[in-house]
Structure 1
């Protein structure tokens, strides 16, 4: 575990293993901790690096009120590549918001990336019904301002579900258990990062539109678009499926849904390994 100073922030990152670099870019508020099992599984083949994106977890902003952008987050990823693999292009994986960062990194610095796998990047601006999703994001932000975090999270989650799908029933209260101190700390960080994620990452990242002409010009094997087997019909599934069809490439399916990384880590890591070793 170590840190790297970047423009306007200090990034916390973790490195495991030896071999060519594989950079894992997390989505949501999970940070590097959400990738630990997959990183450990792949560390026999790769130098696996994962980090907390700026403003989340242990990666601190110089200005806590600074606006966020996909471009700035991609430059953070580039700085890590330059730090850990200065002479060789790296393999990069990103999930959800991290998938958007990984895709922009490939577009902005194609010479620094060997292959990107982007898992369910919510690039709603590429969809034919993008205007509907802009309206959803506006409702979420308005709810966040007027009603607070949890109602806004509920509105956001409702917009991600399959059309016509009923809301999930409220879970029964969980029995109180004593968590190890590290697990407690991670859970507190995740909850503490939600206002920042929903208020500044979600509206900025989901407004991002990739340059389709530049994507079309890339060799097809440089970008793998991926989704969860259980995500079909949900909003995070649709942009990757749309782009794969537009670019004439196969859509790779991972086990589980949008958070298959945490629900099926062993199977997820095995397929990730296969997808990278298939392209040298």
Structure 2
């Protein structure tokens, strides 16, 4: 492992079927996994640093994203594969069972992990999983998803993002979208974005959890929703999941990416939620 001078992370790589995963470990104490998809380890670094004072914090680039390289670049990224990757990383660092916190597509990953390997996770926090199959308007949402993916793959990047934000119920001014996605951009960000549209979005949003299996597991499962996400698509999907599990949602500061926007407040709330267990 190598230590980065900018923070306390020790970085390593693990060979798994079909890929080599980049991962980072910080701190000491009970194991806490922070998972995104397509967000990589860097997005979680500020939150990980805050939690490392009393936890061993594991972060990773999901397969095919940034530093986690695939043997076959055209392989789709499914929740089952990403859950298996997390399972292998937990076994590799040998500090489990873990608390697994996933956001967006990462929330889908940790739910799939809880279904497949409940022995490895005693607590799961699924923060705003985009599980459209749980909604009554799933067919309309599938049609919209296929349209925005086709728009992106046809080369209209800003058009695809406009459709994405509209379907997600996230207000984003068009000039800002043009500014964020229409100009000169960092090549790795573009590669990760393309992978998400082409090989990850469908499998993550069309995945159906098994509520009976999740309810029967010994794993404590919490569904997180951002305070600022009211009315958005992931607010709806998260509430539908909580209802299917027979639980109430757990609120967190900020919106869909509250852990990036206000990591201090998010860490405080997460610690409180963990202690309540």
TM over 0.5: yes
Which residue does 1:228 correspond to in 2? 226
Structure 2 residue 35 is the aligned partner of structure 1 residue 21: no
C-alpha deviation, 1:126, in angstroms: 1.0
CA distance in 1, matches of 2:267, 2:187: 26
CA distance in 1, matches of 2:85, 2:177: 40
Structure 1 residues 39 and 172: CA distance shift in structure 2, 3 A: closer
**1:264 aligned residue (246, 262, 265):** 262
CA distance in 2, matches of 1:38, 1:47: 12
Kindly indicate whether the alpha-carbon contact (under 8 Å) linking 2:153 and 2:198 is maintained by their aligned counterparts in 1.
Answer: no
Higher relative contact order (CA 8 A, sep 6+): 1
CA distance in 2, matches of 1:78, 1:69: 14
**TM-score, normalised by the number of residues in structure 1:** 0.88
Deviation string, structure 1 residues 32-62 (Cα, Å, up to 9, x no partner): 0011111011111110010100000111011
Which residue does 2:205 correspond to in 1? 206
Structure 2 residue 133 is the aligned partner of structure 1 residue 122: no
Report the count of equivalent residues: 262
CA distance in 1, matches of 2:48, 2:23: 12
C-alpha deviation, 1:143, in angstroms: 1.2
CA distance in 2, matches of 1:250, 1:205: 23
Kindly indicate whether the alpha-carbon contact (under 8 Å) linking 1:21 and 1:84 is maintained by their aligned counterparts in 2.
Answer: no
Deviation string, structure 1 residues 170-195 (Cα, Å, up to 9, x no partner): 13998xxxxxxxxxx9x653333101
- 1:86-165 matches, within 5 Å, as 88-161=96-169
Deviation string, structure 1 residues 212-256 (Cα, Å, up to 9, x no partner): 22123235x710000111111100111111121232212111111
Name stretches of at least 5 consecutive residues in structure 2 with no aligned partner.
1-10, 180-184
Tell me the C-alpha RMSD between the 2 structures.
Answer: 2.0
C-alpha deviation, 1:169, in angstroms: 4.2
Which residue does 1:180 correspond to in 2? none
SS at match of 1:22: strand
Name stretches of at least 5 consecutive residues in structure 1 with no aligned partner.
175-184
C-alpha deviation, 1:208, in angstroms: 0.5
C-alpha deviation, 1:156, in angstroms: 1.4
CA distance in 1, matches of 2:29, 2:177: 45
Kindly indicate whether the alpha-carbon contact (under 8 Å) linking 1:21 and 1:85 is maintained by their aligned counterparts in 2.
Answer: no
CA distance in 2, matches of 1:211, 1:172: 36
More displaced stretch, 241-250 vs 7-16: 241-250
C-alpha deviation, 1:68, in angstroms: 2.2
SS at match of 1:170: helix
C-alpha deviation, 1:142, in angstroms: 2.0
